[in-house]
A and B are shown apart, each in its own frame.
Chain A
Amino acid sequence: MLPITYAIRNLFRDPSRLLQTVGGSALVVLLVIAAAALTRGMEGVLEATGSAQNVILVGAGSEESIERSEVHLDAESAAATAVSGLSSPLGITAASGEILYMAPLTIAGGHEEPALLRGVTEKALLVHTRVRVIEGAYPSPGQVMVGRLMYRRFGVEALDLAPGRTIAFGKTEFTISGIFEAPGTVLESEVWFDRNDLATLTQRDTLSAVYLRLDDAEFDDVHVFTLQRNDLELSAIREDKYYEKLSSFYAPIRAMTWVTAALVAAGAIFGGLNTLYAAFASRIREMATLQSIGYTRTALLLSLVQESLLATLTGTLLAFVLAMFFLDGLSIPLSLGTFTMELTPGIILTGLGTGLALGTFGTLPPALRCLKPALPVALRSS
């Protein structure tokens, strides 16, 4: 075996190549980390939002989008009484009829952004169990409650959407009554209205959906209810399945993220490979000399891989530092909700794996090519 000092000195043989290898691998690893965190965050937030214990009643034919669904006002009380075994904390049955509406809101200063509006009664808290009011109060008529990450969507300070501030729907102003959290879910970028207010604003006399929280009841019990009351024209879907479907709807976006990352990474890898080919080619005679002394090709290959790994793992480390500063905890507002990029152990492993793969698989082709010529020929090369 060649000593590691040989690999280290070789790294510094050409500082510009070292810089390129470290920078290039840092870029590639950073891209992989970012793409992984982005897609993982997207999937995670949708997975976390749906609960297996919740069933959503939507208008038959609108199973794909609650916002487009229309449900008769009576469905809420009908389901509450007909389906037995619904959760009922403090004696109130967890059946919440809600209106969902996508519309632009305006904040002080005239800034306008589309947001998901939810018209609710107090029963909403019985089904959306992760929602907790962390500041102020639940909205009364004329008021709204905003999700903890709503301010991100407007790109303003959290203070600008604090209780007491106003937010406008068209020309109608609403006072912010409170802030709520619902950790890790898309609800955190919603705005909750009093249900009657939203019905008036949107000029509708129907609900979008009725949310039911199961206790002893099974999904089938709810399904049977929709069949018994076919006059209401309802369709029952499990909330987790609904968000799973929504998630698959965003699969092309995730694929695009990976494709973009892969394209940029491919450029960096291609450039790196080229430099490595040139760098190793200039060492063919030296490799042959070491073989003439008695070093095996395997030993030399290992030394070359060692050398590359030192550079790519330094790049990986650099990528982690950059990711920690610029990616970790960064929340990204998307139409379906805001999610936060996190450096989870899985993502860190993915980044590390990328760095290792770059150092080994990226080195093998140029290294093998450098070690390939027959010894007498290689010794003659200049």
Chain B
Amino acid sequence: MFITIRNLTKSFKKGPNLITPLQNLSLEAPRGEFLALMGPSGSGKTTLLNLIAGIDSPTSGDLMIDDHDVARLSRAQLTKWRSRHVGYIFQLYHLVPILSAFENVELPLLLMPLSRSERRARADAALDLVGLSDRAQHRPPELSGGQEQRVAIARAIVHDPELLVADEPTGDLDGESARSILALLTSLSQDHGKTIVMVTHDPKAAAVANRVLHLEKGQLVNPPATPASAVS
């Protein structure tokens, strides 16, 4: 298994209260699977995604990704692990506005022992893959939302991580742009063997995934008990 999660629990202390957005969650996913994660607001989707991406550490439970015991890594180790193995795609792209598309995509490569020309070649290839070679020198404010998200995807794949996580990547896009982003993600999973975990509210987006998981109050539910899903 590429992702193995057992009894994963995450809780926060908020004043005197203990909030537990994830409780005893278990999950497995093989390499190359495209997973969609759905669920109502506050159900713990982002919390789970952040744990899988090594952005945060669980309170208890096991989290293995490609034989890395991610749950036991220190903060510094997590930072290093992310830089090699994870690409994170955000709903609002999170590009650095003062850097060009090319420079944004180059960011993960600056952490690797690569020559300038190697970086150039890899960043160009990533931009080419998302179809934005001609926008390399543009800065984010000069790009459309769909283009920004494609630059963000190029940045997430440029260092060739096995795992991609996306938190509502189409949540801020119009239908047309959303479709092209979803096509891109599908291709990354099918043609490039990336394992993808995507949080989404949109059933049409979830439909492109190999498997759809439903979260509710920090636990996976199957079949979903939400009214919208009940209809289908």
List the interface of chain A (C-beta within 8 A of B). Answer: 1-3, 5-6, 9-10, 13, 285-286, 289-296, 374-376, 379-380
Contact B80 A294 (CB under 8 A): yes
Instruction: Fill in one digit per residue for B79-93: 1 if any A CB lies within 8 Å of its CB, else 0.
Output: 110111000101000
Contact A294 B83 (CB under 8 A): yes
Contact A376 B55 (CB under 8 A): yes
Contact A9 B79 (CB under 8 A): no
Which residue of chain A lies nearest to B84 when distances are taken between CB atoms in the complex? A294
The SS class assigned to the B binding surface is helix
| In the complex, number of A-B residue pairs with CB atoms less than 8 Å apart | 58
Contact A376 B46 (CB under 8 A): yes
Contact A9 B98 (CB under 8 A): yes
Residue of A5, A10, A291, A379 with most partner-chain B CB within 10 A:
A379
Q: Which of B55, B103, B108 contacts A375 (CB 8 A)?
A: B55
Find chain A residues with CB under 8 A from B46 CB.
Answer: 376, 380
Q: Which of A1, A10, A286 contacts B110 (CB 8 A)?
A: A1
State the Cβ distance, A70 to closest chain B Cβ, in Å: 76
Confirm or deny: B99 has a beta carbon within 8 angstroms of a beta carbon on chain A: yes
Q: Which of B82, B94, B99 contacts A294 (CB 8 A)?
A: B82
Given A289-B90, A294-B79, A294-B82: A2 touches B110 (CB 8 Å cut-off) = yes
Within 8 A of A (CB), among B23-75: 46-47, 50, 53, 55-56
State the Cβ distance, B203 to closest chain A Cβ, in Å: 24
Q: Can you list 19 A-B pairs with a CB-CB distance of less than 8 A? A: A1-B110, A3-B110, A9-B98, A13-B98, A285-B94, A289-B94, A291-B79, A292-B53, A292-B55, A293-B88, A293-B111, A294-B80, A294-B82, A294-B83, A294-B108, A295-B79, A296-B76, A375-B50, A376-B56
Given A9-B98, A10-B98, A294-B83: A379 touches B90 (CB 8 Å cut-off) = yes
Contact A286 B96 (CB under 8 A): yes
Which residue of chain B lies nearest to A380 when distances are taken between CB atoms in the complex? B46
Find chain B residues with CB under 8 A from A292 CB.
Answer: 53, 55, 82, 88
Contact B56 A375 (CB under 8 A): yes
- For the complex of A and B, 8 pairs with smallest distance between CB atoms: A294-B83, A289-B94, A9-B98, A376-B50, A294-B111, A376-B56, A375-B55, A292-B88
Instruction: Fill in one digit per residue for B98-116: 1 if any A CB lies within 8 Å of its CB, else 0.
Output: 1100010001101100000
